[in-house]
Amino acid sequence: MTNPMYETLFAPLADAPRPFLTLADGRKISAAAFHDLIARFSHTLRACGLEPGDRVAVQASKTPQMLALYGAAMASGIVFLPLNTAYTPDELEYFVSDCGARLLLVDPGRVDALAPLAKRLGIALQSLGPGGSFDALAAGHPTRITPAARSGDDLAALLYTSGTTGRSKGAMLSQNNLLSNAETLVELWRFTEKDVLLHALPIFHTHGLFVASNVILRAGAQMIFLPKFDLDQVFDLLDQATTMMGVPTFYTRLLGDPRLSRETVGHMRLFVSGSAPLLAETHLQWSERTGHAILERYGMTETNMLTSNPYDGARRPGTVGFPLPGVDLRIADPASGTEMPQGETGMIEVKGPNVFQGYWQMPEKTAEEFRDDGYFMTGDLGMIDDQGYVNIVGRAKDLIISGGYNVYPKEVELTLDDMPGVLESAVIGLPHPDFGEAVVAVLVPTGEGPDERQILGELSEKLARYKQPKAFIILPELPRNTMGKVQKAELRKTYKAYFKDTAA
């Protein structure tokens, strides 16, 4: 293949009359019409002066145009950088400057606000979407294209990490990284051209773009392409779908709606959850209410998907299943890299065709994150149980060392989440004059709320004393990012002086 990503995922759309996208208002876009848009956009990128290997940065709403731009970038050999729509201009400036993008595409309504930034960086600025200047430029271009020659090892995309422990790093993903994962998941999750995916995820993130969209493209299937997760839209269009991929919040919101029943989802084939841990309670409630077992999987920006609960077989609540075919996964001592015995907690380390090439212009940081034998250190703590399922214990940076003892927040959270009056919890370590770090439980209440004395009484029978919270903080909700992950770094920052303040 002269351009594996384009030829495998996008070329099959050309001249195909079948439906490809169904929009929220019921309009349909055929595969052929979508490929025509990809071709026009590809010519437009080249007309804007971009060449293979150049970067295009996009901070725009989820539209068919943004998805088509992704296809156009792949066809043109241009590195695609999707950016979270919530990023501020200051954050945007860092990403665009760091990657050396030659073109920035934004929503039409944001051009004036970002024009000074573009001028300061010396970068071209266009608007994407209905009424956009880029769309207008594309209108006069041909609907046929000769893709740029690219190899599987060539860079396809940059995705920046959240940067909670320092400045954000650009994960370099090759064509092979993305394609290998898509092909594995199509087979593992049994996707065919008969599937219709209800797609309500953002597409600036691995989950919505490189899992959901790539899987559908590889399978030759269809998508119901919603701009965001909206309960009414989901219920209106669910009867046209066969599958759905979502974050845990999707499932909790659906469970909170009386319209959810075995009848409303009886025709569905598969529900997948990822991007944040799915509470075992949510998994069980969903099974009881719908008769479906949610398939939870595990991945990250740098690696795409790593593990999955089985399509056939037990989808165990609280676990993320088995390593994907072709992925080598081990649990290792974080300091030495020595593999841990089964059942013990350590760092999750992985190696495979899905693992990224390194961090953009950060060779020293890249070297720090890989073992000498090629395994990538994920930063996640986990263990493999007696049935071979991978269990995520937490992030290494979230590990609490209290009085010299290691405390894994996940263990405490699972216990707290079962307590009366607790909707959910987040366990963090805060500076403490005696213990170095103290275990603190941040609780979201339900009903009349939790009884702290009762909780401590029950915890004393279930957890060693050093694992028990030294304090409780009650909040109406936990801070989360756009993919639903609890932002523990934000909690630690907010309450870093908690014990100093309370002592005073």
Q: Is the pLDDT of residue 351 over 50?
A: yes
- Using pLDDT thresholds of 50, 70 and 90, give the confidence band for residue 281: confident
321: left (phi over 0), alpha (psi -120 to 50) or beta: left
pLDDT above 70 covers a percentage of the chain that reads: 98
Q: Could you please state the CATH topology (level 3) that the domain comprising 399-503 is classified under.
A: GMP Synthetase; Chain A, domain 3 (3.30.300)
Q: What is the pLDDT of residue 504?
A: 45
Query: Would you list the DSSP string of 487-504?
Result: -HHHHHHHTTTHHHHHH-
Mean pLDDT of the chain: 93
Q: What is the pLDDT of residue 166?
A: 54
Q: What is the pLDDT of residue 502?
A: 61
Are the CB atoms for 424 and 385 separated by under 8 Å? Answer: no
* Interatomic CA distance for residues 462 and 65, integer angstroms: 53
Domain boundaries 247-395, corresponding CATH code: 3.40.50.12780
Q: Which of 59-73, 84-98, 399-413 has the highest mean pLDDT?
A: 59-73
Domain boundaries 4-13+30-174, corresponding CATH code: 3.40.50.980
Residue limits of CATH 3.40.50.980 in the chain? 4-13+30-174
List, in order, residues 6 or more apart from 451 with CB less than 8 Å away: 420, 421
* CA 205 to chain CA centroid, nearest Å: 5
**Tens digits of per-residue pLDDT, 21-60?**
999 999 999 999 999 999 999 999 999 999 999 999 999 9
| Secondary structure of 247-301 as H, E, C letters | CHHHHHHHHCCCCCCCCCCCCCCEEEECCCCCCHHHHHHHHHHHCCCCEEEEEEC
pLDDT above 90 covers a percentage of the chain that reads: 79
Looking at per-residue pLDDT, the higher value among 70 and 463 belongs to 70
Residue limits of CATH 3.40.50.12780 in the chain? 247-395
What DSSP element (H or E) covers 347?
strand 346-351
Q: What is the pLDDT of residue 162?
A: 60
Q: Is the pLDDT of residue 503 over 60?
A: no
Q: Is the pLDDT of residue 279 over 90?
A: no
**Tens digits of per-residue pLDDT, 225-272?**
999 999 999 999 999 999 999 988 899 899 999 999 999 999 999 999
Looking at per-residue pLDDT, the higher value among 464 and 187 belongs to 187
Q: Is the pLDDT of residue 400 over 80?
A: yes
Q: What is the pLDDT of residue 448?
A: 82
Residue limits of CATH 3.30.300.30 in the chain? 399-503
Give the mean model confidence (pLDDT) for residues 288-307: 96
Amino acid (1-letter code) at residue 436: G
In the chain the first and final C-alpha atoms are separated, in Å, by 68
What is the pTM assigned to this prediction?
Answer: 0.85
